[in-house]
């Protein structure tokens, strides 16, 4: 069995929408107010890892579909680039879905609502994590997500480590509180749960929303 290395080089992979919805459920934040680089540094410093780089992935609406959020993400992603965060985006697709929502009388009624979907993000993350480990670019892969679809990539990385007699750790990091319905990380990974006090030390307080002119 290979020995645990003294130098642990980490690469961080952030599923932006997954992280946003986790923080929204856990802490009540209504928009993606996280500082990706700050969160990556926090997890690495807390666990004795040397941060080697950060990849960020998210779906972004087109200007035509939602100009407010399109402008928000364009500005936030530009800011991330200045902190050496590599980002990958895909265009959100919208479709009508029937959902049950409460009316003014507190009764559930059927209503058609537009639902945004991002395609290919989990596959892109899985491929990039696999490439990073296979190319010996890191021996710690930190994934900010609870998406169990990434478990197949986790199994493949463990198979690579076994076949090559290498030490590789895979971490699932995510915000959590008593309000979080799902408190499990990705199966087969080490779980790093981030509470509100630590999350709040990693907020991005820049203004990315377009201000209206009078």
Q: What is the mean pLDDT of the chain?
A: 90
Dist CA 168 CA 80 (whole Å): 27
Q: Please name which of 148, 210, 193 lies closest in space to residue 23, comparing C-alpha atoms.
A: 193
Bridge partner residues of 109 (DSSP)? 101
pLDDT one-digit tens code per residue, 81-131: 999 999 999 987 655 556 666 667 777 777 655 555 667 899 999 999 999
Residue 24 has pLDDT above 90, yes or no: yes
Phi, then psi, of 205 in degrees rounded to 5: -95, 10
Let me know the angle formed at the C-alpha of 142 by 139 and 148, rounded to the nearest 5 degrees. Answer: 120
The pLDDT of residue 100 is: 62
What percent of the chain is predicted at pLDDT more than 90?
78
Mean pLDDT of 152-179: 96
Domains of the chain by start residue, with CATH: 9-91+118-200 (3.40.50.1010)
The pLDDT of residue 60 is: 92
Residue 212 has pLDDT above 60, yes or no: no
Local confidence band at 65 (pLDDT 50, 70, 90 cut-offs): confident
Dist CA 84 CA 76 (whole Å): 13
């Amino acid at each position: 069995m290979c020995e645990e290395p003294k130098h642990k080089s980490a690469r961080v992979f952030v599923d932006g929408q997954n992280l946003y919805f986790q923080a929204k459920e856990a802490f009540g934040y209504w928009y993606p107010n996280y500082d990706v680089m700050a969160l990556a540094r926090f997890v690495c410093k807390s666990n004795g890892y040397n941060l080697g780089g950060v990849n960020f992935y998210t779906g972004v609406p087109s200007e035509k579909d939602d100009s407010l959020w399109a402008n928000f993400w364009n500005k936030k992603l530009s800011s991330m680039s200045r902190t050496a965060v590599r980002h990958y985006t895909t265009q959100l697709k919208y479709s009508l879905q029937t959902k049950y929502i409460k009316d003014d009388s507190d009764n559930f009624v059927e209503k058609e609502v537009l639902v945004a979907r991002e395609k290919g993000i989990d596959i892109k993350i899985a491929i990039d994590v696999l490439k990073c480990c296979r190319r010996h670019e890191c021996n710690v892969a930190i994934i900010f997500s609870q998406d169990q679809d990434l478990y197949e990539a986790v199994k493949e990385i463990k198979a690579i480590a076994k076949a090559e007699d290498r030490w590789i750790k895979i971490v699932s990091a995510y915000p959590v509180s008593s309000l979080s319905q799902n408190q499990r990380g990705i199966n087969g990974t080490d779980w790093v749960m981030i509470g509100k006090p630590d999350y709040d030390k990693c907020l991005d307080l820049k203004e990315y929303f377009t201000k209206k002119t009078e």
